[in-house]
Structure formats: C-alpha cells, structure tokens
Structure 1
C-alpha cells in the first residue's frame, strides 16, 4: 500500500516537472500582450505616486518628529513655567463658515469658492498656569494645505462613481494642492546629494566638499590642497585653517596619531610633512592652543548672543555643531569627526595623484530629488520654531508684568501664523527658510490644464538648482546615468534646456521610510 502511494507521488512529481517544462517552452508572448502591463502598472502605482508618498510620510511621520524635537517651551522669567506638546495630528479637510462652525469640504468646492483645501493641525498640550498644571486636547495651531489623493484627502479610496458624485474626474491623478482656488504643483527639486563627499578640481585647486544637512543645520565644509599643504575651509572662518590645527582641535594631538589617521606609508608621510611643519611653525601643540587659533579666525557675528563665550569656546561649539554637522559627537568626543576629516584628506591626496578619482557632479548617483513632503516639512519646521520662539518671548515679557498665576499661554497661541506661512509659500512659490539662509523662488507653479498630458507632464517635472543664465553645457547635456529615469526628449527649448527635465513615466522615487 505504501509503495503504491509512493508511485503516485513520483508520477505526480513527473507530471509537474513536465508541465513546468511545457510552461517554459511556450513561445514568448507577443508585444500586444505586454502592453496590458502598462494599465496594470498605472492602476497600482499611478504617475504621481512619488509626490503622494512623500506628502503622506510628512503628515503621518515627519510632523510628529518635528514636534517631538521642539516639544518644550520654557521661559527665563519663571523657572516653573513650561509648555509641552504631547501629540500632533493632521485632521480631515474642512472649511470654516464663520462663528466657529466648520463643515467637511471637497476640492471642487474649494476651487469654486477660491479657498484653500486644507485640514486642521491639532496638538495635545500640557502647560502650567501659576501652580496649576493644565492639559488641553485638540488645540488648533494652524491649517495644513492638503495634497489631493493623500491619505487624509476625501478622494482617497473612492470608486469612480463616488468620485463623480464629488464632481471630481476619476482620471485626475491628484498630487497637487488647491490654494486660494488655484491648483498649485510643487515641482521636484534636484540638488547635489548631501552628507556625501565629492572630490573635484575647482579652478586648479583639488578639493573635497561635503554639504552636511541635519534637522538643525545645513553647512558646507571643504578640505582643499594649496601649495602642497592641506586646509579646511568653512564660511564661519575668515581664513582657511591648516588641517593639522583642525586635528589638534579635535583632540588628535600627537603627530604620530595624526599620521596614523592619514596613512603610515612613506609617500603619505612625505606629502603630509609640510602640513605638520606648518602647525609646528605656528607653535600649536595642544588642543587648547589649536582652539585659541581657530577662535582668532572666527567671522564676527552680527548678533552677539547674551551668553558671552571666549573665542576658544566658540570654536569648540563650531566644531561640535556646525562643521560636518551630520557626523555625531557624543560628549565632546570628536573621534568620529577626526576620522571623517582624515578620510576627506585622503580623498584629496588620492585625487592629486590620479585624476580619474574626481567625482562627476552631473552623475545622477550624486543627485537627490527633493519632493513636496520634504519641502513642506522644512517650511513647517521653520514656522513651528518661530511660533515657539514668539511664545517664549511673550512669556518672558508678560510673566513679570502680570502675576505668573494669571498668565495663560494658550490665549497667545495664534493659529494664523502657520496657516498663512504655508499658504503664502505654496501660492507664491517663494521658499524662504531663515535658519538655512535658503531663498528659492518658483518652487511651485500653477498646474497646466491645456491637456491631460500637459497636466501629467507638469507633475513629473524636475527643476535643477542651477542658474539659467550661465552658459555651461555640463548640467544641460544628457548623462548616461539618467537612462531609464528621465525622459530624454521632454525638455524646454532655450535657456532652460536640459535644466528643466521630466521623469520617465515609470520612474519610482523612494521616499524615506520610518524605521
């Protein structure tokens, strides 16, 4: 009996393999069949998925991180006073009909009434009023313009029939905003990759540059070679600082230890000798002496902070927070930063010997695309920090005047500030972020509705951060690394040629996913 069962099983096995072979040996399906994949792809993915994914990540994940990073507001006037944000949420789209009456709205209604399709941003807070500790839930701090078809939009997950009842075209891809009655698209911004070393020849000077970007700071650090010596260049310094001085300021004091970072072979020692000698001539042998030297080269700030620090403390603070801001420093242990600087020096030294080691700025692997979510995230963070700073100022001013028991911080929270900031940025296209000295114009444009294709083309447009007036062919010409990612034929004529590009229809842009 058992043998019979075994035979059955083996026969089944044989037929399976035969069937499998038949499957494999079938002729490849004709092209007409393959075209059926395209509508399937468009149904599952859609053409503006990258915008919607990035905005969803912002309203569900990023906004919570921003509020958590700036959760406590304190005041110097009263040590007991504090305001703490416990949670933040972006609600469903609604419209204010006056007298504090709100009702749900649709994008079509906002287009007709020349209003903004937006949802309330509400927070839960805990704060002190005198000796009382008070909790308040669902407090409005502003309104967030909503992207059509994002996770909070009324159109999400609706059938074609339901969409037509909302006066919305089922074929409309979404991915844009309705602000003051106008349809606005945030164009994808292309820029050089941040937190990455790029070695290049700049007017005959070999340099390695890193643009550091963290939530707090954006800064550019350069390591360059001049007359056989190596220097670190940063905007906060008036002069280029000899690299050995930087190492000593980072706590790598002995020359032997510095050479261990750079390389112990004879060739590296010979080439780095002049830099060691320079520090010797400056009589810099200790960390404190190196910090004093850096302190003497600091750019004079326009607004001196109230806390008076010595120049060497300022220099130490600069190394901690601004120079290579993305490299973590734990409790003034600069070891990671020293290793990173030494790697930059080694990249410069290698590029001096072998010209093929220069990085290509136009290679698409060295580029990043900034989507709507990250741009609005920057804007919201700036407005939220400004609101908290103003609350702190109001508390500092009012607590001494009225008795602390009568000061209620909630009365001074203005929702209009964040609302107006986000609305005017999207409607004007001017992205001004003071912390990063970032001033960009033309980030948003009115959605072109000349034809269905023109609307889709607008959603996939990529804007390059490069001056249109400069007649340089490099950024404009096709790069082999753009193959399959950018459409080679869809670019305007004239001065913007090659600088304004379009994504290929099936390009997928990965957005930062919450770990």
Structure 2
C-alpha cells in the first residue's frame, strides 16, 4: 500500500506574510532595477544609500559598543570579581551569580525599566538611567541564601540602545515621547545635559609594538596586556647589546634566557632556534645572552623560577599566606608577565612562544633598524568606544564597591557581642549609591579617573552640539587622540595612507588640534571584539598547532638525532 503524501506543515500567518512580501520584493522593480541585478554604476549605489542609512544608521558604532557592554561585558566583569570573602570568618562568602540592566529576572521579555522618558529627563535636569540588578548567593549563619534582583545602583542609558525605551518604536510612538524620529541617538542625558563620549584613539592592546631610540641605542618590544582581571605592560628591551624582560612588578630586568627557562624551555639549543631560527646573523647577535645566564648559574626551570621569585615586588593583603621564592616565581610567570595569555596546569608553552616572538622582533630591529613599527599606522591603533570606556569605569567602581563591602563585613564580624544574626545584604544597600554617583560624575565632568588602572583622562565627554543636524552627527563620529596638542610634532598629525576609507580626509580643526582630532568616514563600521588572537588560535590558523604540545625534551632528542644523521 502506498502511503499518502504528507501535507505541507502549517506556517505561522506572520511567517507566511513575510515570505509573500519577500517574493513581491523580488518581483518588484526599483528605479528600473530588480533585486538580483548587478550594481555597477555610481547612480545605482546612490539609490542604495537611503537603505543603508535606515538599516545601519550613522552612529551604529556607539550603539553596538554600549549594547555589547550591557549584554556581555558586564557579565564578564561580574565573573572576574564574583567572590567576596571575609578575613574574620572563613565560613562567610558572597558570590555574584548574574547581573542585568533595566529589567528584573521575573519581568517579561524586552522590558525596559527606566525612570522617565529622555525628554522629561532633559526638562527636569535628571539622569536618564535604568537600575542594575544582581543575583547573589551568601551565607547567613549556617544557611546558604540566594537573593535575586538586588539593586546595586543605576546605569546611565544611551539613547536608542537596546535598553532604551525609544529602541524599535515607530514615528507615532516617538511623537508621544516628544522625540525627533531622525535624531541618531548614541548619547546620554546626565543631569539634564546631553553628553557624548568621544571615540578615543589608543595604541593596540595585546599586540607587540617595536620601537627604537637611535641616540641611546635602545630597541624595545612592548605589549600592553588587558584582561578583566588585570591590566599590565611587559617590555623586552636591549641593554649593552643583551636582551632583558622588564615589568613594573619585578624589581630588576630579567635576562631573556632566564625568563624562557622559567617558562619551561631549558634547552639552550631550543631557545636559540625559537628566537633566531636558522639565521646566522641573529645567532651571532643573540649568543651573548647564554653567557649571562651561565654566569648567574641558572640552568634548570626551578633555578630560573627562584631567580624570578626573588625579584618580585610583593604587595599582599593582610592575612594572606606568605609564598616561597619558587611560588612567587611561578605566580609571576603565570599571571603577571604577558597577562592576557592564560595559563592552565602550569603549562607555560604559549607564554614562552610569545616572549620568543618579542625577542625575535627585537633581534630583527637590532639587525635592521627599518623593522620598527610605525605607531601612527592605523593597524597599530584601536578605537575605544563608549562601551569600552563605560566598561572600565564600571569595573573600577565595582571593585571599589566590593572592597568597601568587604571592609564593612569584617568590621561587623569582628564585634563578638552581636544581638542578631548578621545579614550581608544590609551592607550591600549601604554602598549601592557609590556606583550611581561615580558613573554620573564621570559622564557629566568628562574625567575618567581610575586609580586601579592608572588612568587619568580629562575631556572624555563633550556636550552634544545642537547647532545643526550635521554638527550633531559630526560630534558623534569625532575621534580624540591621546597625543598632547601642545607638542609640535608632525607624525601623528599627518594624513596616513592607511586611513583611506575609514577616516574623513578633510574634516579636522585648524590650529594646535589639527590632525589630532579626526572624524570617522560616515559609512565606517567598527567591530566590537575585546580580544586579540591568542597564540593557540594563531597556531590553529597557521596550521602549526602541534608545536604547542611538543615538550622541550622531545624536541631536544629530535634535534640531536637530526644532527647525528646530518653528520653521517
């Protein structure tokens, strides 16, 4: 018996309507062109422009970065600082489970809980903001309690972002809120004033930059490591024609061979091949570094870790256990040096390869001074948008909030004569105002003063220029350089060929800010990615991931065998 044919599955009416509309669009002509026709003339491209502006908009970079911050970055910051412990009571802890902006865990999807519409905040000199909710797990006596939807402050909300009530509404609803439908958004309303966080131009994080000072005869490769746990800078520098590793948390410069031995590469032959390859000129330049390690009698990984651990500047909190020299050395190599590469199970192979790459770049520049990096090249720059700057600000305020919270807990737990059981949530409520005032103050004054990240910047925010629609758009796409305006240097001010298509070639102020304040080209799109490719991903891309699993002894034996074979 032949089974009957199955009927087509019933589609939702909205889906069918959408499909029919799409089919109509395919049949429909627009300015004499069908949707699948080639776009090969300038006139056709001009017809596409209104559609691009409707879909993308001109301030999409600000909105995307803020959305990434509230949806992704906040959770990463909470994860990195999730535990608050007490020095007084070892049984006590507070653990942050989740964080949300603008809606409770119990509220309906797409809820946008803001205090007032933006226009009313402008008129009443208020801040357009939404509450920040966290879920916590903590101990009260011997019980473990989970508390949801605890408010720890209020976050200023960017207009037209996904937490704003203007997101995704039509022109009629916009009119009810007294808003202009063509206003691009991308700014904040703080104390009734419209404030824009200008795009900040910075040298790349987590990327090797090689510089040289010909007068002093110094070559250095530096990398600024940036993670949610820490921010630090590592240098590989030359001194008396020898190469050293330099870091702020280590009291003196460490010879490059010793740091590589500490990272597990104990074979001198392997160090030579990793850094110099088969180039005899590089080998001649580098060979003096082995002599220094031999003079200091550092031959094994343990000796190298002890050498590094002895020179670590230790600043530990009260009550923390004291570490031995070996443990200090392991911690420095694992977490402090090249901090953006994570180490699991004391496998330092990735860090050793990264340090070797930095040393090789230094050797290449010593041999050929033209190998220095151009700091003004756009590929060596990154643009910090509103989301990244807000992320740094929130992280600093949240860490301060946690330290104040912990100090308050220890103070109460020290009192032996407590009449009632201690509840940590009372302390959280005391400090919740600090985050709100900290964020409002930074955006309203434009001063990003973050002591934890050694960041002191003024003029980060400006009042939105409303002289005309074009002036408002110009301010939204403006890029502020960190270079001092008073210095009479032409390099950073020059128009670089690498800026073509990304930065506006004509719009820059006259006078001392000429070339330092730039503007994005109107159709530039900025991606939001907080990480560079680590060594593991890079090796995967290059198809040489096997090198990460090869240990020093295997490689050494292979080299010895290959040498014997070549002699025979």
* Aligned residue among 406, 425, 442 for 1:392: 406
The TM-score, its normalising length taken from structure 1, stands at: 0.87
Separation in structure 1 between the aligned mates of residue 524 and residue 297 of structure 2, nearest angstrom: 57
Q: 2:282, 2:364 within 8 Å by CA — same for their partners in 1? A: no
Q: 2:85 aligned with 1:74, yes or no?
A: yes
Question: Which deviates the most, 386-395 or 473-482?
Answer: 386-395
Deviation at 1:484, TM superposition (A): 0.7
Give a deviation string over 1:55-113, Cα, whole Å, max 9, x none: 011111221222222222222322322222222211169xxxxxxxx985100000011
Alignment-derived partner of residue 265 in structure 2:
252
Cα 1:298–1:376 shift into 2, 3 Å: same
The answer as to whether partners of 2:83 and 2:93 remain within 8 angstroms in 1 is: yes
Within 5 Å, give how 1:106-185 maps onto structure 2.
Answer: 106-185=117-196
Deviates more, 1:106-115 or 1:273-282: 273-282
8 Å CA contact 2:114, 2:129 repeated in 1: no
Aligned to 2:449: 432
SS of alignment partner, residue 475 of structure 1: helix
Match of 1:226 in 2: 239
Residues 28 and 118 of structure 1, relative CA distance in 2, 3 Å threshold: closer
In the alignment, which of 406, 416, 433 is matched to residue 421 of structure 2?
406
Q: Does 1:469 align with 2:482?
A: no
Alignment CA distance shift 1:103-1:352 (3 Å)? closer
Match of 2:7 in 1: none
What is the number of equivalent residue pairs in this alignment? 484
Q: Work out whether residues 129 and 404 of structure 1, in 8 Å CA contact, stay in contact via their aligned partners in 2.
A: no
**C-alpha deviation, 1:294, in angstroms:** 3.3
Match in the other structure for 1:8? none
1:501 to 506, 514, 518: 518
Q: Which moved more, 1:72-81 or 1:452-461?
A: 72-81
Q: 1:214 aligns with which of 217, 222, 227?
A: 227
Cα-to-partner distance string for 1:32-67 (whole Å, 9 max, x where unaligned): 554222222111111100000110111112212222
Deviations, residues 438-459 of structure 1 (Å, cap 9, x unaligned): 1111111111111111111000
Equivalent in 329, 337, 351 of residue 323 of structure 1:
337
Assess, with a 3 A threshold, how the Cα gap between structure 1 residues 141 and 128 changes in structure 2: closer, same or farther. same
Match of 2:5? none
* 1:163 counterpart SS class: helix
Secondary structure of 1:381 counterpart = helix
Distance 1:130 1:455, change over 3 A: same
Q: Name 2:551's counterpart in structure 1.
A: none
**For residues 464 and 264 of structure 1, do their structure 2 counterparts lie closer, same or farther at Cα, with a shift above 3 Å needed?**
closer
Which of 180, 184, 197 is the aligned partner of 1:186? 197
Give the superposed CA RMSD. Answer: 2.7
Q: Secondary structure at the match of 1:87?
A: strand
**Which residue in the other structure is 2:56 paired with?**
45
Cα deviation digits, residues 190-224 of structure 1 (max 9, x gap): 11111111222234322221111111122221212
In structure 2, the residue matched to 1:11 is none
CA contact (8 A) 1:64 1:87 kept: yes
Return 5+ residue gaps in structure 2 as ranges: 1-32, 105-112, 532-568
SS in 2 for 1:347: helix
1:242 aligns with 2:242: no
The SS at the match of 2:287 is helix
Kept in 1: contact 2:115–2:130 (CA 8 A): no
